[in-house]
Amino acid sequence: MHGASWSIGIRIFEGVGKGAMRIDVVTLFPELIENCLRSGVVGRAQERGLLAVRTWNPRDFATDSHRTVDDRPCGGGPGMVMMIGPLQAALERAQDGDGPVRTVYLSPQGVRLTQAKVAQFARGPRLVLLCGRYEGVDERLLAHAVDEEVSIGDYVLSGGELAAAVLIDAIGRLQDGALNDAQSAEQDSFSDGLLDCPHYTRPVRGALGDVPPVLLSGDHAAIRRWRRKQALGRTWLRRPDLLARTELDAESRRLLDEFRREHEAARDQTEAGTRPD
């Protein structure tokens, strides 16, 4: 088939269930996407037919013998720009088919990705991701064919592929049945606007310290309160910007107050211990 590359394998794509989320990726480096998504939760989600990822290489849609996909920037300057022709043809093939499609261009100029945005994309049913290389994509194609531009952070990657893989991973693990423990996604960092609490496993005593006793108490209400308090405290310490945007109920406000008082008392004690007499 012209330009088509079955990124994760025909077997998996054909095995996809009716409700599966479909993600088409337009990229000059399909193997980057494939290699990133082969393992772990998202690899399994594809094997279970919960998610189908397919890649389209614009080079396969080039019309000259050199399979050219880029050209010099108008106005001069360094680097090359991805030209409209092959990219538009690849994009149209990727967008083809049933169901409403959102087309997203990955770029540092985009709106910063959040868990809320991931959850919105994860509701599907389809997404087309456009990965840029070189200096970027001819702006006219972006204006014509792209619904939104998304960045995964304020740093520059050498192309959109790793950003696309990050987005697909975050979407894939939210598909129903992707995670073994149904509760895990609800307990994720950011799912309620807060960072996650700390986690521990055995041995309960060790050279690096002991597991907090409450986690061994069997008192589920106390454990839930402790976890909530740690999540609130960590968010207050590390990401006050998140906390400022999160509405807290009365219990959460009380737990955070408790955390702050304990944190400040511990800090005062440390300072007293290190002060010269």
**Looking at this protein, which amino acid is placed at residue 37?**
L
DSSP 137: B
Residue reference for tokens 């893989």: 165
SS3 103: strand
Q: Between the CA of residue 183 and those of 21, 138, 176, 180, 191, what are the distances in Å?
A: 21, 43, 11, 9, 11
In contact, 175 and 169? CB cutoff 8 Å:
no
List the x/- string, 100-119, binding to ligand ADE by CB under 6 A: ------xxx-----------
| Residue 15 touches ligand ADE, criterion: CB under 6 A | no
Burial of 155 (0-12, 13-18, 19+ CB in 10 A): exposed
Identify whether 238 is a catalytic site residue.
Answer: no
Identify whether 108 is a catalytic site residue.
Answer: yes
158: nearest Cα among 175, 188, 138, 133: 133
| Residue 28 touches ligand ADE, criterion: CB under 6 A | no
**Looking at this protein, which amino acid is placed at residue 7?**
S
| Residue 208 touches ligand ADE, criterion: CB under 6 A | no
Of residues 80, 101, 157, 185, which one binds ligand ADE by CB under 6 A?
A: 157
**Of 47, 92, 135, 169, which is the active-site residue?**
135
CA–CA separation, 68 vs 58, rounded Å? 9
Of residues 1, 10, 74, 156, which one binds ligand ADE by CB under 6 A?
A: 156
| Residue 63 touches ligand ADE, criterion: CB under 6 A | no
| Residue 163 touches ligand ADE, criterion: CB under 6 A | yes
Neighbours of 234 (CB within 10 A): 18
Of residues 3, 30, 160, 233, which one binds ligand ADE by CB under 6 A?
A: 160
* Closest approach of ligand ADE to the CB of residue 133, in Å: 9
Residue reference for tokens 């007293």: 272
| Residue 136 touches ligand ADE, criterion: CB under 6 A | no
**Of 92, 149, 169, 188, which is the active-site residue?**
188
- Tell me the residue number closest to ligand ADE, measured at CB: 163
Using the rule CB under 6 A, give the single segment among 95-103, 156-164, 209-217, 219-227 that binds ligand ADE.
Answer: 156-164
Distance from chain centroid for Cα 11: 25
Identify whether 100 is a catalytic site residue.
Answer: no
Using the rule CB under 6 A, give the single segment among 87-95, 154-162, 205-213, 214-222 that binds ligand ADE.
Answer: 154-162
40: nearest Cα among 169, 171, 181: 169
* Closest approach of ligand ADE to the CB of residue 173, in Å: 19
| Residue 153 touches ligand ADE, criterion: CB under 6 A | yes
Beta bridge partners, 100, equal: none
| Residue 27 touches ligand ADE, criterion: CB under 6 A | no
* Closest approach of ligand ADE to the CB of residue 29, in Å: 12
Residues that bind ligand ADE (CB under 6 A): 106-108, 151-153, 155-157, 160, 163
